[in-house]
Structure 1
């Protein structure tokens, strides 16, 4: 794996190493430590699953993405296509027949993280560590180079078989993730990044901000940063607490219908008023001593609750075990009361803690496992959540009772010990669950559960899980 310029903003392994997290098994092997005693390389064999879920298809990572250091990452969907981000670029899959997906094309454009979002004919791709230039073939650069590029890449995917690279927008500290506020003529991209350093001219502390990029849909080549709102004017969660010091956000989920967003920002979980999309403002903050790193967020269907996830161990730790327990490396579920701004009255929000959820299928000490990316399953008026847990697999959770969530389906491969592995993102789209497996490719799952039957009536034409509609 290439040397990390800013370890906390790179791979889960690098983040864990920077944080001093003890690693065993696969993680230890990948950074040159001794493996755990008795660790075996099973290559992903020994699959376990519930009776109501089937693994219907898998496509291995394609050429150019097939090294263990080229991690598969996030997913976005448009029409009959799934777009799978990767540290080396992205792949497009035809999912018109979900049980027989086909690779359509790959775009080799290394930049790290590879978070993806789609909007009509445009695709947005996050670049999280510096390159010598914005060109797709540019070599990795030193972060001390003020001319280095990291930020957002914009592609025209009107010809899905031949995407065209149309714009590159540099942002402070690059782009770890991106989230959209979509309009008819203009998109706004909320760029989340973190871990500043005095040594890096393009990533100066305190970095209590996000970047907002405006993209004219009819002229995406003119995309540009239009604001850098400071979300934490008081500095956010301070150092010396159980949670990470806040120096930026990791991810933001937008609920446009209600003009709010939920931000997972290292040491803080926040609700953001986005009624003015260029100038978002935090209106509620929560902290939790059981949370190490506020990683991502998903609203309930009605927007009256939020699931926040904790990426304990930076994604590299084996934290799904009895020793870690059920309240760390978990989901935290909050009730939400939110009032939009009206006239001279500012927006208000209140979060109230309800419960934790964590898979109780303990994993081996070679398996990196922690709460990660997921999405709401579109059952009208109900709250079902599909979620990735790295090597903990894919879990389907019923959280209609916010105080008593329960797992109702799961798919879990056996250990993969050559490097980090597991499901990075798992999302529901038009009748199936799609999982971006870090090492083992593109997975398609089918859940047969009467509680989820209503989701089959919902047909998406586009889905970015971090841009959440109401069903």
Structure 2
């Protein structure tokens, strides 16, 4: 979600009201499941405990072995997915701090906190954004005992950590976290403009308590895209970064800009190509194909709170854009957006997804908030097409919801639903069936390792 909680969610909410006024209501009943014939709804675990409230948004997912890790604005949950048809909660940690986007490495779990807190403690309260005493950044947990995660370290970063990307170093002894954050203002003592940079945290794997910020590279020395009409926010950093370590390559979705980066020097990434698009309001995330020759960028029009999957908005806004990488440059080939128009109350826009590992094909599963989950093929960059989907009817009472992240892992699709919990899906289709043979030991989706 684009909006920094407590700072611009009101902006996105206003967009929802504006768009809703232009659209007629549809007839689907609340929570009715709609899906293509090739998609099976295998399981659902509702939110529980401290995460049941409507403001306890489920967020991103990561996977390792037989476990799935789900962020939530109130903390995180660890699931056993040894039997995907019967997922089980192993533990739930209450530790407030939007968005609590999550990644894992070995016995370590990392959370992004983009919400000023009055301390770095899991018992902290919402802090004062204008106070130097407020904290936001990265929290690190020891998850060697999955039933009892242990909070071991906090690293403060400028402007917080809206998202982070785990980047392995070349020795295997450390990992880097590329921290994306944005929305500087003169009233924020540790987040003043210009903020055309990211923060890089180095975590020694054998001594993670020594984790610290090692660099703050400027990606946009000339300011980035700040003038384009229709931007949700001008470029002031990045929203999300995806890395392709084997090629020393990264793609950044940076608010008003899409970029390619050379990450040969992990602590000093360099922008090598930049692109803008008149139809994009907020460059949100990026996904490479398996050969690192294409990038799918998403436009989170309305900040994730708006009803944008409708005829009024059209097929080119709030969509994906498929780019080929040609001689180091990004060449636009097409747009992709779900064709099912959603109810006027349903927040719906392109969001987080991952590749389905089919050799020789470019197939992706993707979350669309209340637009549900879409499985689509972009092997032909110029003619992407949907091959399966899953969604629910509009939430009642009306609220922000739907699939935040939908990722393919070891034969199943896992969806983090903001309000409805943890969904397990399976697609049976001749195009995707070969993926069931691929087994991964870990999946942090923004760290793309070729299958």
Gaps (5+ residues) in structure 2? none
Secondary structure of 2:133 counterpart: coil
Partner of 2:303: 314
Q: Distance in 2 between matches of 1:188 and 1:159?
A: 23
1:341-380 aligned at under 5 Å gives the runs: 349-380=328-359
Correspondence 1:22 to 2:10: no
Q: Distance in 2 between matches of 1:416 and 1:374?
A: 22
Structure 1 residue 289 corresponds to structure 2 residue 268: no
Q: Counterpart in 2 of 1:422? A: 402
Match among 199, 217, 240 for residue 229 of structure 1: 217
Match of 2:240? 251
Residue in 2 aligned with 1:88?
Answer: 74
> Larger deviation: 329-338 or 121-130?
329-338
Task: Describe the SS at the equivalent of 1:90.
Answer: strand
Of residues 253-262 and 451-460 in structure 1, the stretch that sits farther from structure 2 once superposed is 451-460
What whole-Å deviation, never above 9, does each CA across 1:147-192 have from its counterpart, x for those lacking one? Answer: 1110000011111111111100000010000001113110000000
CA distance in structure 2 between the aligned counterparts of 1:79 and 1:93, rounded to whole angstroms:
11
Contact kept? 1:39, 1:366, Cα under 8 Å: no
Provide Cα deviations, 1:23-43, integer angstroms capped at 9, x if missing partner. Answer: 239x98xxxxx9988689954
Distance 1:461 1:36, change over 3 A: same
Residue aligning to 1:401:
380
Instruction: Report the equivalent of 1:139.
Output: 125
* TM-score normalised by structure 1 residue count: 0.92
1:97 counterpart (64, 76, 83): 83
Distance 2:356 2:309 in 1: 24
- Matches of 1:279 and 1:450, distance apart in 2: 43
Distance 1:428 1:267, change over 3 A: same
Paired with 2:278 and 2:427, the residues of 1 have a C-alpha distance of 35
In structure 2, distance between residues paired with 1:459 and 1:38: 43
Q: Are residues 1:332 and 2:327 paired?
A: no
Number of the residue aligned with 1:441: 421
1:35, 1:353 → 2: CA distance? 30
> Contact 1:40–1:417 (CA<8 Å) still a contact in 2?
no
SS of residue paired to 1:57: strand
**Alpha carbons 2:26, 2:342 under 8 Å: kept:** no
In the alignment, the residues of structure 1 paired with residue 24 and residue 128 of structure 2 have an alpha-carbon distance, to the nearest angstrom, of 37
Counterpart-to-counterpart distance in 2, 1:87 and 1:330: 25
Check if 1:305 corresponds to 2:291: no
> Which structure 1 segments of 5+ residues have no match?
1-6, 29-33, 339-348
Q: What is the CA deviation profile of residues 223-271 of structure 1, one whole-angstrom value per residue up to 9, with x for unaligned ones?
A: 0000000000010002353333101100000100100100000000000
Equivalent position to 2:93, from 100, 107, 112: 107
* Superposed CA RMSD: 1.9
* Equivalent residue, structure 2, for 1:189: 177
